[in-house]
Amino acid sequence: MSRKYFGTDGIRGKVGVSPITPDFVMRLGYAAGKVLAKLDTASHARPTVLIGKDTRVSGYMLEAALEAGFAAAGVDIMLSGPMPTPAIAYLTRALRLSAGVVISASHNPYDDNGIKFFSAQGTKLPDDIELAIEAELDLEMQCVSSDKLGKAKRLDDANGRYIEFCKSTYPNELDLRGLKIVVDCAHGAAYDIAPHVFHELGAEVISIGNHPNGFNINDAVGATAPEALALAVRANHADLGIALDGDADRLVMVDKNGKIYDGDQLLYLMVLDRMAIGPVAGAVGTLMTNMAVELAFKELGVGFIRAKVGDRYVLEQMQQQGWLLGGEGSGHLLCLDKHTTGDGIVSALQVLSALKRNGKSLDQCFENLTLFPQVLINVRVTPGFDWQTNAALVAEKTQVEKELAGQGRVLIRASGTEPLVRVMVETSSAEIANKMARRLANCIA
């Protein structure tokens, strides 16, 4: 059964354009509430959901709409205010709630927004539950009787609870004393959380991207624009930098020289660190994971599997294999022995604990790993565009792969969150990769 509204990471789009409108989001809350009520038949308690959001100005409007929808379905609501996506996953599980909901468009600009759900276990909703919600959306919205309406209350200690959780994922015998760290919060959901975590563990923290105004989320800061962090690290003579995205589930890091390290490299470092403690059976990447990382894992005797792009697909493969580590080059990293979902702050703490254990600086950890040049071009298309029906593009892809002769890769895929086709070429020569990627992109434009 095909999805009508849900993509790879919830429902997302331009604010004011269907489906990111107040009336739809209210109906979505109602539909999700009805599905949750059916699932919670074993409990006599009223279902309760936690709603968190990032710092976009539209969050106020969508939060109110969701709250109304859930209340109309007879579901109680807890409101956390601005809170990282992984924090909602953790708090939903810790408070034994029916579900968690995050109002966020992650790394997108401020005039986008979206809704994503977490199960009672703190994981992304299974496909069958999302499809059940979509089916309920096709029915007429009603309202329970007044005596059964849901109530809302604020979770006042959400920040403190989550800060303590993050700190608990860092080894008790280690601290961050002696490190000067720049933390870029992307003017997003972690602006009043991430700096406290690293400071309370002993680091000297310099914060940037920590003054949200509703309109500046991800604007030239954060994991999608790490150049700002690189400049701040060098200007402050810091040991390293940590960049999160708008909802703080992505991580990019910068060394003392301003060099940027993506999710592929950080996953490699986390695997190396775990191997120093005990055997690592394998790790999961995606179709976009750099070939150099795959070859490095092979040399180490660590299994490696590529999932479809999207952290939910990485998680599915990790669960199937029984592996603990996985991630994407974009910075979504999963450590299933620490958290149920990708978490930028928790992932950063795993990297920092590796540095403390091996006594190396961030740049020294990658002396034996040289990434292959990878050129990615995003081409905006009309919604619903299927690149595989473009005969010229298919033919050009075949020709490029023939020219690469097994010494590189081509990947073309539709974005799961935006009307984009992503064209990627990877080979040993950056110049050749760039020319080939532009040849392919020109077939779409």
Annotated binding site for Mg(2+): 106, 245, 247, 249
- Distance separating alpha carbons of residues 66 and 27, to the nearest angstrom: 8
Give Cβ neighbours of residue 257 (< 8 Å, ≥ 6 apart): 234, 363
CA trace torsion 259, 263, 268, 273 (10° rounding): 90
Contact assessment for residue 357 and residue 138, using Cβ atoms and an 8 Å cutoff: no
Count the helices and strands in the chain (H runs, E runs): 13, 18
- Which helix H or strand E contains 286, and what residues bound it? strand 282-286
Tokens of 432: 């050749």
141: which DSSP letter? P
* Catalytic pick among 80, 98, 104, 106: 106
- Distance separating alpha carbons of residues 307 and 105, to the nearest angstrom: 22
- Distance separating alpha carbons of residues 75 and 69, to the nearest angstrom: 9
Residue 9: Cβ within 10 Å count? 22
Q: Please confirm, yes or no, whether 98 is among the known catalytic residues.
A: no
Tokens of 408: 């590189």
124: which DSSP letter? B
| Residues with catalytic roles | 106
